[in-house]
Amino acid sequence: MLSYRHGFHAGNHGDVLKHWVLVLCLEYLKQKDKPFFYIDTHSGSGLYSLTDPYARKTGEATEGIGKLWQAAKWPAAMAAYREVIASFNPHKLVRYPGSPAIAAALSREDDRLRLIEMHSSDLSALQKQFARDRRVKVLEGDGFVDVKGLLPPATRRGVVLMDPSYEIKSDYGKVIKSINECVKRFATGQYLIWYPLINSVAAQRFSEQLQKLPCASWLDVQLAVRCPPQGHGMYGSGLFVVNPPWTLKQQLEETLPELTQLLAQDDGAQWSVQQHSE
């Protein structure tokens, strides 16, 4: 079991990997003038204070975005991600934008965002944050189920981010089932599935299950910042990308060695990238 409410872990190493890759995918879609559709199935509250009790209790941002923020030089491929983070922190690092805020910051006037959330407090925060943004609709519901009704988008161009808490083991099976159904409805869409690296059978088998999804191409990236612990602590994370941009693999392979070194907590830090294309 993994407790992964966004507020407790905002800005940690998992967020860095997930949101950096999200930025790369959205920037790739923006190379064309045609609008795109962004769906976040587990949105959270959208924006997090790194000084509130939730963040300070774990201090995980210090080992994630905090390390990058203090670095003298960021990897070149992370420039757009850095610009987004800086736009929320004009003086010092005190806030971390979640995926909804990052996607909104990168979206253009004609792009559309659909943010799904079921927790009442997070839902309320999302609604308040995007109340005046006509591009965004905040939806209350179960992201595993409700995402299907939003596909395919009219533009036939889009990104779906699936980032559940994995607080219960059944989340792994729900991800597989949901993505299978989504791909049937919108086969050409990009799907980003974040997952934790922890010492549990369900988690360790998850990457192999994702690689069996019925899709023409995928990329599976993992970043471990330390050796696996004896217990169930998260020592890294992965991001599985269905229909990745053709430029993504090279960007990752050129950047991950430096990023891994920056985020490393011990000698067990390592990265990997696997890819399949029919």
For the chain, the domains span: 6-277
Query: What distance in Å separates the CA atoms of residue 268 and residue 256, rounded to the nearest whole number?
Result: 15
Which residue in the block uniquely carries the two structure tokens 């975005």?
65
Helix axes 201-210, 170-185, angle to 10 degrees: 10
- Give counts: helices (H), strands (E), the chain: 11, 10
pLDDT band at 202 (very low <50, low <70, confident <90, very high): confident
CATH architecture observed for domain 6-277: 3-Layer(aba) Sandwich (3.40)
Instruction: Give every CB contact of residue 58 below 8 A, 6+ residues apart in sequence.
Output: 8, 9, 12
> Residue 57 has what pLDDT?
66
In this predicted structure, the answer to whether residue 168 has a pLDDT above a threshold of 90 is: no
Mean pLDDT of the chain: 93
Note whether 155 and 32 are within 8 A (CB): no
In this predicted structure, the answer to whether residue 196 has a pLDDT above a threshold of 70 is: yes
Ramachandran class of 110: left when φ > 0, alpha when ψ lies in -120 to 50, beta otherwise: alpha
SS3 234: coil
- Straight-line distance from the first to the last Cα atom of the chain, in angstroms, rounded to the nearest whole number: 35
Q: Which two tokens stand for residue 41?
A: 């199935």
% the chain with pLDDT above 70: 95
Give which of 87, 78, 6 is closest to 46, Cα–Cα: 6
> Residue 3 has what pLDDT?
44
Note whether 175 and 205 are within 8 A (CB): no
In this predicted structure, the answer to whether residue 4 has a pLDDT above a threshold of 60 is: no
| pTM of the predicted protein model | 0.95
In this predicted structure, the answer to whether residue 163 has a pLDDT above a threshold of 90 is: yes
Give Cα separations from 83 to 79, 104, 129 (angstroms). 6, 13, 20
Note whether 95 and 44 are within 8 A (CB): no
> Residue 231 has what pLDDT?
76
Note whether 273 and 253 are within 8 A (CB): yes
Environment class of 110 (CB within 10 Å of its CB; exposed 0-12, middle 13-18, buried 19+): exposed
Q: pLDDT of 121-139, one tens digit each?
A: 999 999 999 999 999 999 9
- The catalytic site residues sit at 163
pLDDT band at 162 (very low <50, low <70, confident <90, very high): very high
Q: pLDDT of 76-107, one tens digit each?
A: 999 999 999 999 999 899 999 999 999 999 99
